[in-house]
A = this chain, B = another copy of it.
Amino acid sequence: MQDEPEVAVLRYGHRPGRDDRMTTHVGLTARALGADRVLFPDNASQSEETVADITDRFGGPFTVERTDELDATIREWPGRVVHLTMYGERVQDVAGEIREAHREDPILVVVGGEKVPFRVYDQADWNVGVTNQPHSEVAGLAVFLDRLFEGRELEQEWPDAERRVIPQACGKRVVDGDAE
């Protein structure tokens, strides 16, 4: 989020076709819940396109990129690395430390696909489990970001949006981005 060290999300691994929707949801969740940037594997061009399109329409600042250097991105990250995995330490035990680190340092949040090699566990500063149960990398990312930002991400504004949803008790209301 603005005025804070960067939070970027790295989607580690992607199978075109089969993973398109999950990878897209990782990207959209990163954007909606306060991350500044998402990095997809090089073969996730369709997900990149969808996330860029949503960002154009609903606003930023948010960046989506692709890279063929997943490991180098982790290795050379100029801050701290969090790897989300059901095998990791409990989020409720380590979120405080990570928040503390984020006051000074950019955070890279690594979200695995099906198989994540041991070197990712090894290079992460924290391996973090949002529960130690099998569920969804999208759900894990969402809870992690909400706890990292302690809800501040829900108050974000999207100054350059083309359209904006106005919260409604019942029904749908969408206005132009520059409507007051």
Interface residues of A (CB under 8 A from B): 21-22, 25, 28-29, 31-33, 54, 58, 86-93, 118, 121-122, 124, 126-127, 129-136, 138-143, 146-147, 151, 153-156, 158, 164-174
Contact = CB atoms under 8 A, between A and B. Distances in A.
A92 to B, nearest CB: 5
Contact of A170 (B121, B155, B166): B121
Contacts of A124: 170
Given A58-B133, A134-B54, A154-B90, A139 B32 contact: yes
Main secondary structure of the interface of A (DSSP, over half): mixed
A119 B94 CA distance: 42
Contacts of A129: 165, 167
Nearest to A156: B131
Nearest to A141: B139
